Amino acid sequence: MKIAVIIVRLLMGLIFVASAIVVLFKLVPVPPLEGDLKTFNEGIAAAKYFMPTLKSIELICGLALISGRFVPLATVVLFPITVNIFLFHAFLGPEGLPVAIFLLAGNLFLAYVNRKKYQPLLTA
At 92, the pLDDT band (50, 70, 90 cuts) reads very high
Residue 39 identity (one-letter amino acid): T
C-alpha 119/C-alpha 74 separation (Å) is 16
User: Is-contact 13 63, C-beta < 8 A?
Assistant: yes
pTM for the model stands at: 0.94
Statement: residue 77 has pLDDT above 90 = yes
C-alpha 113/C-alpha 56 separation (Å) is 25
**Which pLDDT value is given to residue 30?**
85
**Which pLDDT value is given to residue 123?**
87
Statement: residue 52 has pLDDT above 90 = yes
The separation between CA 28 and the C-alpha centre of its own chain, rounded to angstroms, equals 19
More confident: 31 or 52: 52
The conformation of residue 48, written as its DSSP 8-state character, comes to T
